[in-house]
Amino acid sequence: MKFKYIGFFIALLCTAVSFGQIKIKGTVKDKANVPIPGVNVIIKGTSSSAATDFDGNYVLNVPNKNAQIEFTFVGFTTKLETIGDRTEINVILEESSQTLDEIVVVGYAAVKKSDVTSSISSVKGKELQTMTVGNVTESLQGKVAGVQVTGQGGPGAQPRVLIRGISTLNLNTDPLYVVDGIPMGTSINFLSNNEIESMEVLKDASASAIYGSRASNGVILITTKKGKEGKTRFTFDLSSGMQIMNNPYNMADAEGYATIMNKAYNNSGYSDYLPNPSQYRGKTTDWWKEGIRKGTPVTNASLGISGGSDKHTFGISLNYYNSESIYGIGGWERVTMRIANDFKFSDKFKAGITLNPRYETWGAPGNWADFDKIDPITPIYKPADQLNGTENEYSIYARSPSYVWNPVAAVNRYDDYTDKYNLNTNGYLQYEPIKGLVIRTQASIEVGDEVRNSFTPDFVIDAAHEKQEINNVQKWNTTNVDWTWQNTITYSKTFAEKHNASLMIGNTMEEYNGNNLWGYGEGVPNNSDSMRELNAATKNKDSKGNSWSSSLMSYISRFSYNYDGKYYFTGTFRRDGSSKFMTNNKWANFPSASVSWRILNEGFMESAKDVVSDLRLRAGWGKVGNQGLPDAVYQSNIGQGYYVIGGEVVDTSYPSSMANKDIKWETVEDMSFGLDFGFFKNRISGSLEYYKKQTNDMLFLKQFPTYSGFPGYSTMWTNVGSMQSSGIDLLLSYKDKKGDFSYGVDLTFTTVNVKMLTLSADGEKLYGSGNRTLTVKGDEPGYFYGYVADGLFQNQTELNSHTDEHGTKLQPYAQVGDVRFKDVNGDGKIDEKDRTKIGSPWADYNVGLNLNFGYKNFDLVANFYSSIGNDIVNQNISDLYNGASLTNKVSGLEQMAWHGEGTSNSIPRLSKDDNNENFTKFSSLYVEDGSFVRMKNLQLGYTFNNKFGLDKLRISLSGQNLWTWTKYTGVDPEVAGGDPDKGDRVKGSGFGGWNYPVQPTILMGLNVAF
Amino acid sequence: MKKNVFLFFLALFGILLTGCQNNESGFPSSDNPTVVVSTKEIYGAPSRKFEIKAALADDLGLKSVQIQIPELSLDKTISFATNPLLESYDLSYFFEVPANRGTSEAFKIKLIVTDVSGNVVNEEINLRLDGEFAAPSISMITPKEGAVILLSTSNDMPVNFVVNDDSGIDYIQIKCEELGIDETVQLDGAPHSYTFNKTYKLPVTAANYVLTITAKDKFTIPNTGSININIVATNEYPAIYLCDQPKGTNLTTDAVGVPMYFHEKTGQDFEFKYYADKDNKEIYFLGQESDFAPHCFGLNASNELIDDVASTPIILPTKGYYKIKVNPNTLKYTAEKYTPSSKVWADVANGLWHDDAAQRKPFVSVCGGGIQGATWDTWDAWTQKGLHLANNASNPYQLVGEYTLTGTMEATFTGQWWDPSWRLIKNGIATMSPGENGNAKYSAAPGVYKVVLDTELERVFITKK
């Protein structure tokens, strides 16, 4: 009975306690009004807690009105609410970009940001999605310190991405892209920015060495969006607008052209080329207006569905991108789909599969320069009296005496389009038999087919100069099947509470297979669309085909350890075996080590924690490689070509390349030191890093010496030379919130210094880009090499004094107004030996400035990017200012060019003959300051939350590349590398010409979630 | 005593201060440099270079020499290296007097020599532009270069020429070793013009002669001019040319082909193949290449062939190809129209001809020298589109174009890989491959020329535009 009383008393107490509690409920959402499942809702100072369900809802009993509830979730700022009289508390959590608990992908693993010991920068997908670009790497511009992105205009163009400068001279400089753990090569044109959850840039070797032989240019890890637990959610993102194509030059009209050309002829002693220029007044052919569209549409759209339970999540997105060309035909169109399913069978088993079908089509003429270069007097079409009615539709166009092919006709003839179909399947299976031990296997297969069709119709615009007597049809088909399989075992354990260790070992296998087929035929009976098939060709049919394969097998491992969150160590080791190398060097090892000291967690920092939110020193070392040379360099090859035998030219074979059995990887050894810091609750944060890396055993394609007996064209890959690059990366961030107003500033600063340490022989000179660049030991690679243009001869006295000591003219054909070339070596003559360094394509530093502001439901983003201290060769100077050619010139050139003392010191006099070689000698006349500051993006948005039956509706207006400051007078200061097929990727950097400009773009955006 | 002490210190500080003065040149003081000019008066002339010569020296080292003629826009500084120091320098500086200056003008040439200590010495030289440097000009009236003297008609060789010189003619000399002519005419009073006219007798045997005429003027530094005239004395014509230009036309302005060299010769029967590009084409036959005189074969009033500079042209009635035969001795000729049967190469220029090599990119261009853009590399012939010949729309046997000649030219007209090709040998003959060897060189004044390659005639005509 006594126990009954006791039981009753306890029950009564419980009831009383229960009666004293307050039931609180509510919903937790993010800023975009999306419910967040799994948020930890805890009564501060107690162990009582609850978690939000799929819809972000929670219910919690709190003891009294004074209790405080804390809402915490990874990646979001913790929020604290006092109960007061409320029974329903709805919370909006804000994402944190500096949370140290944030998960960072590091290659074959993901770790907490606080545990990262090497140089890794993260960019969230949301930041990338503020811009509408075909290639998502363009959005990276200015956002990551140490990453230099040079934009390329044109639909489907791929920007040049350099991570901490260059580490190779002859191979590709693009980083390795790894999408969801699968290496995908050096281009991610196939990815929509709406598919990306986050990007991690592995900048130093201690971070990237786990990718071994392909990591010397850095690695960019991309994590795509997956399904999230919670109710099914639909999103629709659309941005659509116009790309603006302004004529970069104000070209002369017909009368102006005649005046300019007459002056050029007269200055050379000839009579007028086009007498009485006024007769052409009002008769200008406006080629640009006729053939180039000022505005071309661009659209980026994504439809997404995601959701799931704790057993299964799914994310499906359908993405569409379309950028039309400026010619009114062609462009680039991409449709991709990503279907991601993740399954949790039990606490021990997980699996997932992602399907990624893609379709791309592209093709557009490339002759926009001709619309400026063709003379403005020639009409577009032949006059009626020059037509006899038998011409086909491509032969009715007029021929220009300027020798520029009629660009309107060329666009009309254009028929060269490529379709690409790909399917990528990526799946994994993960097993965790005991806590901390994860066994994972992942496999991916990529199947692709690329079909290019081309047709060149027959036409005769001018029988001597502009014609195609027989039409031809061509077809290329390239198929690839690539697969990857990787297996890892990871064991993580904490010992004695303070020793945290993790060990991962694994292996990977990759194989890349491809084949191509080309068909050619001539004499298709007519030019109609239906006849544009190889089967319709009647003459000169030809075909070629080839196949290739390469594979890579690797063993990987990583060991991480930290003591009490203060002292960190990470070591990685990768052993790569590549089919590209022969037995002697088939396998190579790529180790790395990095340490970090999180000073903040030291006892002596306790008193400073109000001010210092993060303080950490890092140091890393590693070796990475570059195997980006052709697949079968171990083979000797026979080439076909014409050769003189016994005085007769014969079509024959010759040894074109010889195998080098000792060929091996280019190896880059890298050291870096970093300081990460955060102050005032990370309102101010950033990192400062210094790095130095050295490339050894550089791969060169060398010719044989003549005494070897091989023809001059024969080549062999060999490992010679070394180079070094060093620099500083700085990231500074500031963010704050005052009431409804929030703002943030990110500043990135990048410097790169590159120099050649050794070449294959002392004193060796490596020329590039048609002998216009030089690479020598002790200097930066690919610097501009030419004559020094020392202004113009302003008067006869200056001209007369430009002699050697005996009065012999250094430039015998020069006249007043011509370029004065400097006798650099002072030997009394102007010759090859006077060529010297006249500029550098490499920037002294790059700066990015990213601003974001928020006020209530408004948001504003502005991104700026600049490149300072680099030079650009403006190759268009010859086209625009040289009177020797009959192409059109810039308007008013007769006044801009030198026409009397003091009238110009940079644009030579107009001359038909150019006997002084003002324009044919490559000189500093062509070299301009290539520095620029560009406003990459300006976007204003407004968000409606819970309106119109939608969770979220955001509308935005943005402008991309609206403003650029530069002294460069060419088309666009964003000028990348040269032709990689000619080995000029590095040695031909910085040559601007009629490169397709990065276009200003105006866009409207719509983001819907429900 | 105090005063002496004061003066001592004043002097001491004065010396010290002097010693402490910054010597900007960085070299100790030295004697003035010396300049010894080779002449105090230099003769020059418009468009002509003269030489300034002087010996410069300095006991320590020369720094620079400045040469100034402000009126002629000359202000040249020659700086000398100072490591090691240069103690002497032989100045030899050439300068061309501008063409627009008058011969009566005179100027001062100023030499400013500076040594490394900062000493400066000036020297002046007189420059006169009334110098005469042109050799006497000799204008041949007869015989002209390449003249043919038909011995069967006459063995007289009239020699008639005019000599002109600005400073006056000292003497003239006529020499021909084979004919034993060595005649000097010393002129009194140094006339500015002199006409020589004398007839020499030739042996009756056929031979070639070289007549050398020399003239010397009377300037302070005498100038001598000389020309060689090649003469053919023959009993029969070595060649006959077909000329379709009106009388009086300068027949030396073309580069190749005018007048046209015969195709076949049997004795004195000459045969031409010729394309009349229009109806009623007028032609003559010439006994020499460069002039209508002395042997010009045309028609008399009776429509008979005569050798007379005053004759009227032979008329080919209609446009087309002709075979023309002429005998200058019998004074008979025939002109017969014919239809060519040789291969038409128009398709090559059209880009159509590639039956034999599937991937051939047909064109007809030129390789050679003295033609702007042309080299002996067929790659250049292909890529230099301006060198490509086009079809003559009215004659499928002719390929036409326009070249800029830069001087003495030689050429082979070629398709891809020399197939087909026409080598331009002597006498304007474009021999089709394999043909004859030996590209001939033709002198041509720089300029733009019209080019006609006639594949039927195997001839090239390159005439000033």
Whole-angstrom CA distances from B167 to A92, B219, B424 are 108, 6, 44
Domain hosting residue A129, numbered range? 103-231
Q: How many structural domains does chain A have?
A: 2
Q: Please list, in sequence order, all residues whose beta carbon lies within 8 angstroms of the beta carbon of residue A295, skipping any fewer than 6 positions away.
A: A242, A243, A244, A245
3-state SS of chain B is CHHHHHHHHHHHHHHHHHHHCCCCCCCCCCCCCEEEECCCEEECCCCCEEEEEEEEECCCCEEEEEEEEHHHCEEEEEECCCCCCCCEEEEEEEEECCCCCCCCCEEEEEEEEEECCCCEEEEEEEEECCCCCCCCEEEEEECCCCEEEECCCCCEEEEEEEEECCCCEEEEEEEECCCCEEEEEECCCCCCEEEEEEEEECCCCCEEEEEEEEEEECCCCCCEEEEEEEEEEECCCCCCEEECCCCCCCCCCCCECCCEECCEEECCEEEEEEEECCCCEEEEEECCCCCCCCCEEEECCCCCEEECCCCECEEECCCEEEEEEEECCCCEEEEEEECCCCCCCHHHHHCCCCCCCCCCCCCCEEEEEEECCCCCCHHHHHHCHHHCCEEECCEEEEEEEEEEEEEEEEEEEECHHHCCEEEECHHHEEEECCCCCCCCCECCCCEEEEEEEECCCCEEEEEEC
Give the per-residue pLDDT at B410.
94
Chain A residues with beta carbon closer than 8 angstroms to that of B98: 796
Give the per-residue pLDDT at A16.
42
Amino acid identity of residue A973, one-letter, is P
Q: Rounded to an integer, what distance in angstroms lies between the CA atom of residue A119 and that of residue A111?
A: 14
DSSP A418-436: EEEEEEEEEEEEEE-SSTT
Whether omega for the bond prior to residue B434 falls within 30 degrees of 0, making it cis, is: yes
CA angle B240, B246, B248 (to 5 degrees): 90
HSE-up of residue A943 (Cα within 13 Å, Cβ side): 20
Q: Does the residue A538 lie in any domain?
A: no
- Residue A540 to residue B75, Cβ atoms within 8 A: no
Given a contact cutoff of 8 angstroms between Cβ atoms, the answer to whether B259 and B242 are in contact is yes
Q: Answer yes or no: do A40 and A132 share one domain.
A: no
Q: Answer yes or no: do A70 and A122 share one domain.
A: no
Strand pairing class (B74-79; B269-276): unpaired
Domain stops at, among A214, A231, A248: A231
Residue A61: which CATH number?
2.60.40.4130
Break chain B into its structural domains and give their ranges: 34-128, 137-234, 241-338, 346-464
Give this prediction's pTM: 0.76
Q: Rounded to an integer, what distance in angstroms lies between the CA atom of residue B39 and that of residue B42?
A: 7
Q: Answer yes or no: do A218 and A116 share one domain.
A: yes
CA angle A947, A952, A956 (to 5 degrees): 105
Given a contact cutoff of 8 angstroms between Cβ atoms, the answer to whether A28 and A71 are in contact is yes
Least confident range from A115-129, B53-67, B242-256: namely A115-129
Nearest to A807 among B95, B388, B418 (CB): B95
Nearest to B240 by CA among B274, B199, B280: B274
Token pair 């990685």 in the structure block, residue: A572
Amino acid identity of residue B31, one-letter, is D
Q: Please list, in sequence order, all residues whose beta carbon lies within 8 angstroms of the beta carbon of residue A390, skipping any fewer than 6 positions away.
A: none
Residue scoring higher pLDDT (A91 or B72): B72
Domain stops at, among A215, A231, A247: A231
Q: Does the residue A787 lie in any domain?
A: no
Give the per-residue pLDDT at A8.
53
Q: How many residues does the structure list for chain A?
A: 1010
Q: Rounded to an integer, what distance in angstroms lies between the CA atom of residue A124 and that of residue A135?
A: 16
Question: B73: distance to nearest CA of chain A, Å?
Answer: 4
Q: Does the residue A687 lie in any domain?
A: no
Q: Does the residue A60 lie in any domain?
A: yes
Q: Which helix (H) or strand (E) element contains residue A408?
A: helix A407-413
Q: Does the residue A643 lie in any domain?
A: no
Sheet with A871-874, edge to edge strand ranges: A927-929, A871-874, A991-992
Whole-angstrom CA distances from B332 to A385, B317, B425 are 48, 18, 30
Q: How many inter-chain contacts (A to B, CB under 8 Å) are there?
A: 53
Residue A223: which CATH number?
2.170.130.10
Given a contact cutoff of 8 angstroms between Cβ atoms, the answer to whether A696 and A670 are in contact is no
Average pLDDT estimate for B287-296: 87
How would residue B8 be classed by pLDDT, with cut points 50, 70 and 90?
low
- Residue A807 to residue B93, Cβ atoms within 8 A: yes
- Closest-approach residue (CA) in chain A for B65: A805
Residue scoring higher pLDDT (B416 or A692): A692
- Residue A649 to residue B351, Cβ atoms within 8 A: no
Percent of chain B with pLDDT over 90: 61
- Residue B76 to residue A403, Cβ atoms within 8 A: no
**Burial code of A901-926, b = ≥16 C-beta within 10 A, e = fewer?**
eeebebbbbbbbbbebbbbebbbbbb
- Residue B95 to residue A797, Cβ atoms within 8 A: no
How would residue B358 be classed by pLDDT, with cut points 50, 70 and 90?
very low
Give the per-residue pLDDT at A1.
47
- Residue A807 to residue B49, Cβ atoms within 8 A: yes
pLDDT at position B269 over 80: yes
A613 beta partners: none
Q: Does the residue A121 lie in any domain?
A: yes
Q: ipTM surpassing 0.85, yes or no?
A: no
Instruction: Return the CATH superfamily for domain B34-128.
Output: Macroglobulin (MG2) domain (2.60.40.1930)
Q: Answer yes or no: do A161 and A221 share one domain.
A: yes
Structure letter (DSSP) for residue A803:
B
Q: Answer yes or no: do A107 and A226 share one domain.
A: yes
Q: Answer yes or no: do A115 and A209 share one domain.
A: yes
Give the per-residue pLDDT at B354.
46
Whole-angstrom CA distances from A24 to A18, A44, A58, A66 are 13, 14, 8, 13
Give the per-residue pLDDT at A157.
80
Are B34-128 and B137-234 equal in CATH topology? yes
Chain A residues with beta carbon closer than 8 angstroms to that of B73: 795-797, 799-800
Burial class (CB in 10 A: 0-12, 13-18, 19+), B250: exposed
Q: What share of chain A is helix, strand, coil (3-state, %, to 5)?
A: 15, 50, 40
HSE-up of residue A265 (Cα within 13 Å, Cβ side): 13
- Closest-approach residue (CA) in chain A for B355: A540
Q: Answer yes or no: do A88 and A126 share one domain.
A: no
Q: Answer yes or no: do A57 and A131 share one domain.
A: no
- Residue B391 to residue A463, Cβ atoms within 8 A: yes
Strand pairing class (A722-738; A741-751): antiparallel
Token pair 């302003």 in the structure block, residue: A794
Task: Provide the H-helix boundaries in A855-949.
Answer: 876-881, 893-896
3-class DSSP state of A44: coil
Chain B residues with beta carbon closer than 8 angstroms to that of A469: 350-352
Give the per-residue pLDDT at A682.
86
Nearest to A467 among B351, B359, B417 (CB): B351
B95 at the A interface (CB within 8 A)? yes
- Closest-approach residue (CA) in chain A for B92: A806
Q: Rounded to an integer, what distance in angstroms lies between the CA atom of residue A275 and that of residue A258?
A: 8
Domain B346-464: assigned CATH number: 2.60.40.3620
Given a contact cutoff of 8 angstroms between Cβ atoms, the answer to whether A69 and A80 are in contact is yes
What integer best gives the mean pLDDT of chain B? Answer: 88
Q: Rounded to an integer, what distance in angstroms lies between the CA atom of residue A570 and that of residue A561?
A: 6
Q: Rounded to an integer, what distance in angstroms lies between the CA atom of residue A214 and that of residue A175?
A: 8
How would residue B361 be classed by pLDDT, with cut points 50, 70 and 90?
low
Domain B137-234, CATH among 3.40.50.620, 2.30.30.100, 2.60.40.650, 2.130.10.10: 2.60.40.650
Chain B residues with beta carbon closer than 8 angstroms to that of A542: 358
Q: Does the residue A138 lie in any domain?
A: yes
**Burial code of A545-580, b = ≥16 C-beta within 10 A, e = fewer?**
eeeeebbbbbbbbbebbbeeebebebbbbbbbebbb
Give the per-residue pLDDT at A705.
72
Q: Answer yes or no: do A116 and A211 share one domain.
A: yes
3-class DSSP state of A136: helix
Whether omega for the bond prior to residue A711 falls within 30 degrees of 0, making it cis, is: no
Per-block average pLDDT, block size 10, for chain A (1010 residues)?
Answer: 51 46 85 78 82 83 85 80 86 68 78 84 84 81 85 80 86 89 86 88 89 89 88 92 95 96 94 93 94 94 92 94 94 95 93 96 95 95 86 92 94 97 96 94 96 96 85 97 96 91 95 96 93 94 92 95 92 92 87 94 88 93 84 75 66 77 86 94 92 91 74 76 93 91 93 91 86 93 96 96 95 95 94 96 94 92 94 95 94 96 95 93 96 94 88 91 94 83 81 91 92
Structure tokens at A747: 């500043």
pLDDT at position B347 over 80: no
3-class DSSP state of A304: strand
Mutate to test the interface with A, among B49, B83, B350 (most CBs of A within 10 A): B350
Q: Rounded to an integer, what distance in angstroms lies between the CA atom of residue A546 and that of residue A544?
A: 7
Q: Answer yes or no: do A44 and A139 share one domain.
A: no
Backbone angles phi, psi at A12, to 5 degrees: -65, -40
Q: Answer yes or no: do A109 and A152 share one domain.
A: yes
- Residue A649 to residue B417, Cβ atoms within 8 A: yes
Given a contact cutoff of 8 angstroms between Cβ atoms, the answer to whether A384 and A290 are in contact is no
- Residue A806 to residue B92, Cβ atoms within 8 A: yes
Nearest to A331 by CA among A303, A358, A293: A293
Nearest to A469 among B73, B78, B351 (CB): B351
Question: A278: distance to nearest CA of chain B, Å?
Answer: 27
pLDDT at position B197 over 90: yes
Q: Answer yes or no: do A121 and A202 share one domain.
A: yes
Q: Rounded to an integer, what distance in angstroms lies between the CA atom of residue A511 and that of residue A481?
A: 8
Q: Does the residue A442 lie in any domain?
A: no
Nearest to B196 by CA among B147, B141, B149: B141
Strand pairing class (A666-679; A684-696): antiparallel
Mutate to test the interface with A, among B71, B94, B421 (most CBs of A within 10 A): B94
